[in-house]
C-alpha cells in the first residue's frame, strides 16, 4: 500500500510506517505501509524517468517489518528484459547520488546473493506505537520474547552499522561529503559520468580527482581502465589508475575486451 500525506519536510521521500497488529494469544504481527513525503518531488526532478520507475519498483519489495530489498531477478520479473541488462541498470542506480548521498546500496550476502536496497537518504523506517491501553498487560511471548531479548543483548547502534556499510561499499563518509560540498565539487549530471566517478572512488581515487578525470578524459576511458585494473597486478592501484586514464594505457594481454554496453 503506497499513500501520500504531508509529513515533516525533513522526512526522506519514502517512509516505512511499521505497526504491530494485535492477535489472539497476546501476540502482535508487524504490518508496514510506505508513506511518500513531499520531498519526492525534488527527487523525481533530479532523476530520469527510467530511474524513477526503477526506484519505485524497488520500493514495492517491502516486507511487513519495513525492510526493502530486491535482487536482479526480482526487478527483472517486474520491469522485464534480460537479467544482465537489469543488473547494469541497478548498478547505475546505485551509482546515482541525491544531496551528496547514494540512492541505493548494493549488498552481497554471505551466500553470494546480490541485493539492492534504498539508502537512508531516500528511505527511513518509523515505528508506530500502539495506544497504551492496547499494550496494557501484554508481553511478547514465544518467538517475540526471543527477538526482544536478542535485540536488547546483541543489537548494535545504527551509526556503527551504517559506518561499516559505508566502509565496505567504498562510499564517502558524511564528513567527506560535507567537505566536498564546501569545496564546490559537483557530481556530473550525466548518468554515465556519475557511474564512472563512483567506480573510481570505490577503487580509492579521491572524489575531486575522479570528477576531474571523468570531465577531462570521459566516462568510457575511466570505466575501461577500471575494468582492466585487476589484470594490471600493481600495488598502488589508485595512483596507477589515474596514470592509466591520463596516459590512455593499452589493455593488458590477458584482459577481456571492453564492453561499451556498460555505458549504453
Q: Per CATH, which fold does 2-138 belong to?
A: Arc Repressor Mutant, subunit A (1.10.10)
Nearest-angstrom CA–CA distance, 230 and 244: 13
DSSP 251: P
Q: How much of the chain exceeds pLDDT 90, in percent?
A: 15
Residue 123 β-bridge partners:
14
The residue ranges of every structural domain in the chain are: 2-138, 174-263
pLDDT tens sequence across 177-206: 666 555 555 667 777 888 888 888 888 888
Residue whose cell numbers read 551528496: 100
**Distance (Å) of CA 160 to CA 1, 157, 165:** 31, 6, 9
pLDDT tens sequence across 194-237: 888 888 888 888 888 888 888 899 888 888 888 888 888 888 88
pLDDT tens sequence across 65-98: 888 999 999 999 999 888 889 999 999 998 888 8
Parallel, antiparallel or unpaired: strands 101-102 and 97-98: antiparallel
DSSP codes of every residue in 43-82: HHHHS-HHHHHHHHHHHT-B-TTS-B-B-HHHHHHHH-S-
Quick one: pLDDT at residue 179?
A: 62
Amino acid at each position: 500500500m503506497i499513500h501520500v500525506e504531508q509529513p515533516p519536510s525533513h522526512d526522506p521521500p519514502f517512509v516505512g510506517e511499521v505497526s504491530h497488529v494485535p492477535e489472539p494469544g497476546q501476540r502482535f504481527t508487524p504490518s508496514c505501509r510506505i508513506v511518500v513525503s513531499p520531498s519526492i518531488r525534488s527527487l523525481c526532478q533530479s532523476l530520469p524517468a527510467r530511474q524513477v520507475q526503477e526506484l519505485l519498483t524497488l520500493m514495492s519489495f517491502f516486507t511487513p517489518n519495513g525492510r526493502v530489498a530486491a535482487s536482479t531477478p526480482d526487478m527483472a520479473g517486474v520491469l522485464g528484459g534480460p537479467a544482465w541488462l537489469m543488473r547494469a541498470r541497478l548498478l547505475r542506480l546505485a551509482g546515482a547520488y541525491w544531496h551528496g548521498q547514494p540512492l541505493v546500496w548494493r549488498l552481497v550476502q554471505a551466500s553470494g546473493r546480490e541485493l539492492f536496497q534504498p539508502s537512508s537518504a531516500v528511505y527511513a523506517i518509523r515505528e508506530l506505537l500502539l495506544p497504551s491501553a492496547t499494550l496494557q498487560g501484554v508481553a511478547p511471548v514465544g518467538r517475540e520474547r526471543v527477538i526482544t531479548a536478542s535485540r536488547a543483548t546483541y543489537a548494535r547502534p545504527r551509526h556503527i552499522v551504517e559506518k561499516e556499510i559505508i566502509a565496505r561499499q567504498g562510499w564517502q563518509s558524511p564528513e567527506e561529503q560535507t567537505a566536498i560540498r564546501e569545496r564546490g565539487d559537483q557530481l556530473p549530471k550525466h548518468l554515465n559520468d556519475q557511474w564512472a566517478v563512483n567506480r573510481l572512488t570505490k577503487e580509492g581515487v579521491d572524489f575531486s580527482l575522479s570528477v576531474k578525470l571523468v570531465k577531462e578524459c570521459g566516462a568510457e576511458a575511466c570505466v575501461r581502465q577500471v575494468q582492466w585494473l585487476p589484470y594490471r597486478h600493481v600495488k598502488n592501484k589508485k595512483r596507477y589508475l589515474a596514470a592509466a586514464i591520463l596516459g590512455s594505457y593499452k589493455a593488458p594481454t590477458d584482459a577481456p575486451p571492453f564492453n561499451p554496453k556498460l555505458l549504453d
